Every structure is written in structure tokens, then in C-alpha cells.
């Protein structure tokens, strides 16, 4: 499945490069990267043997093409390279909302898989939703992402929009929650630095415990909630009318709608 041609090595592409290096999944020499803007990860990959912005003639060597540009730029990226690729190259797209059929058409009918990963692939703790009608494309995509996180197969391409809302966009929800918790602690009188340290360490520890224990979030919540105690008082607010359940339904619905819009 190598060489891997990466069309884009920004935030997500760079996170993958870092994760693959950490996991020992792929070497820099396995990568051909087209990226107009330099960054530290790109420079490190170049120093380790990746080919950066090589002549078009070398693109035919790629067995797998990772489309990692912003959704608004994917057609331009496809137009620049499609005619130079090998006929059996497999396209793996990270472009949110963009349909497999449209991607395949732009890449000359080649097999396509869609994936929605998270940037935690950089530390091999990512999550990736995959849709692929072609078995080889699906297998190729699993090989790319399984070394750097959990992989979930989505049976219906239409559900990729919801997967984007629940997973692809969700790291930002958590960061926003922590940001708000830090501010709330400061508003309650804690020094800002202390509130930040408490909030970040607590959330990171709780997430690690959930991942390691395998217990349901509802059960873990019950374990740390004493009837009539301080946690219950806070949860009465968070889980009350217009609280977290309703807010998150609205947030995921908004992300899902936007994913459909981006796909045209």
C-alpha cells in the first residue's frame, strides 16, 4: 500500500505523520507529500526521507492517496494530480461531507474510502469513522488508521455526516467544555492558573479512567455522585432543562447539517 501520497500535510496530515512515526507504522520514506506551506512536522519528515512536492512524474508510484485538504479545496487538489496517478491507486478522503461518488469521479473512477479521524492520531489515541463500498479501499484505510487509534466502520455513507458530528468535530466540544470549566472555577474565586490545572487534570484523568475501565459513562457518573451532595447539585444544572443533553443534540445536529452542506 506504499508509497502513500499525502495531498495536504496541515493539522490532520501532520498529526497522522506524527502518529505513524510514534507507532512505527510507516516510515518517512514511505511518504510522498504535496503541501505548499512548510511546518515543523513537514520539515522533520523531509529530513527523515519523505519526498516533499516531487515532480508530477513521481506521483504514479503512489499506491494509496490520502486526500487531506480542506473540503473547499478538494476538487482543485484532485485536478492537479488525477492524471498522474496509477490506475490502481486507492483514494482515501478526509474531506468532510464530500461523497465517495464525487471523489471517485474526480479521480478518474478510482476506488475510494472516506474517513473522519480526530487529531489525537498524533498520540496514537485517535478515533476514525470509515465508509468504503470497495473492500480493498476499506482494508487499505484500516491499515492506515488502526495503528493510531480506534476505527469504526459505518455501513451507510449517509451516516458519515452524523459520525462527523459525534466524533470528527467532538474534540472541539471537549476543549470548549474545559475552557468553560476553567473560567467557572476562576469566577468562583480560584486563581486562573490553579483553576486551569484542576480542570485539565481532572478531565484528562476521568477520560483515561473511562477508557481503561470499559464501564458505561452513566455508571461512572453514578459512582461519583452522592445523593444530595455537591456533584448532584451540579448535575441538576447540567442535566436539567436546556442542559447538556439538549445542547449536544443541537450541536451534533448542526455539525451534521454543515457536513451535508459541504458535500454539496
Q: Which residues are annotated as a binding site for NADP(+)?
A: 7-12, 68-71
**Residue 165 and residue 118 in contact, taking contact as beta carbons nearer than 8 Å:** no
Please report the pLDDT score of residue 126 as a whole number.
97
How far, CA to CA in Å, does 169 sit from each of 96, 146, 151?
Answer: 10, 19, 16
Whole-angstrom Cα distance, residue 69 to residue 36? 11
Domain boundaries, the chain: 4-160, 169-263
Torsions phi, psi for 250 (to 5 deg) = -65, -40
Rounded mean pLDDT of 17-22? Answer: 96
**Measured between alpha carbons, how far is 48 from 52 in angstroms, rounded to an integer?**
11
Range 131-137 contact pairs with CB under 8 angstroms and sequence separation of 24 or more: 131/100, 131/155, 131/156, 131/157, 131/159, 131/160, 132/100, 133/100, 133/157, 134/90, 136/90, 136/111, 137/90, 137/91, 137/92, 137/111, 137/112, 137/113
Annotated binding site: 7-12, 68-71
pLDDT tens digit sequence for 191-236? 999 999 999 999 999 999 999 999 999 999 999 999 999 999 999 9
Name residue, grid cell 439538549.
246
All three cell numbers of 139, joined, read 482494508
**Model pLDDT for residues 48-94, shown as the tens digit of each residue:** 999 999 999 999 999 999 999 988 999 999 999 999 999 999 999 99
Determine the CATH number of domain 169-263.
1.10.3730.10
Give this prediction's pTM. 0.92
* CATH number for the domain running over 4-160: 3.40.50.720
Amino acid at each position: 500500500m506504499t508509497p502513500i501520497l499525502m495531498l495536504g500535510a496541515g493539522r490532520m496530515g501532520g498529526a497522522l505523520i506524527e502518529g505513524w512515526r510514534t507507532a512505527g507504522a510507516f516510515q518517512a520514506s514511505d511518504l510522498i507529500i504535496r503541501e505548499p506551506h512548510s511546518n515543523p512536522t513537514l520539515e522533520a519528515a523531509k529530513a527523515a526521507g519523505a519526498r516533499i512536492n516531487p515532480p508530477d512524474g513521481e506521483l504514479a508510484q503512489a499506491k494509496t492517496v490520502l486526500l487531506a485538504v480542506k473540503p473547499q479545496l478538494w476538487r482543485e487538489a484532485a485536478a492537479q494530480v488525477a492524471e498522474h496517478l496509477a490506475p490502481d491507486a486507492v483514494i482515501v478522503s478526509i474531506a468532510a461531507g464530500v461523497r465517495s461518488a464525487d471523489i471517485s469521479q474526480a479521480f478518474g473512477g478510482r476506488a475510494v474510502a472516506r474517513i473522519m479521524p480526530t487529531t489525537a492520531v498524533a498520540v496514537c489515541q485517535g478515533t476514525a469513522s470509515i465508509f468504503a463500498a470497495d473492500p480493498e479501499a476499506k482494508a487499505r484505510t484500516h491499515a492506515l488508521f488502526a495503528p493510531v487509534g480506534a476505527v469504526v466502520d459505518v455501513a451507510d455513507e449517509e451516516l458519515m455526516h452524523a459520525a462527523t458530528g459525534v466524533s470528527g468535530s467532538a474534540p472541539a466540544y471537549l476543549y470548549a467544555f474545559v475552557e468553560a470549566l476553567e473560567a467557572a472555577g476562576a469566577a468562583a474565586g480560584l486563581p486562573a492558573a490553579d483553576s486551569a490545572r484542576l480542570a485539565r487534570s481532572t478531565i484528562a484523568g476521568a477520560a483515561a479512567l473511562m477508557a481503561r475501565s470499559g464501564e458505561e459513562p452513566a455508571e461512572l457518573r453514578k459512582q461519583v455522585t452522592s445523593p444530595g451532595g455537591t456533584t448532584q447539585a451540579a448535575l441538576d444544572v447540567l442535566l436539567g432543562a436546556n442542559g447538556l443533553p439538549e445542547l449536544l443534540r443541537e450541536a451534533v445536529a448542526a455539525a451534521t447539517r454543515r457536513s451535508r452542506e459541504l458535500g454539496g
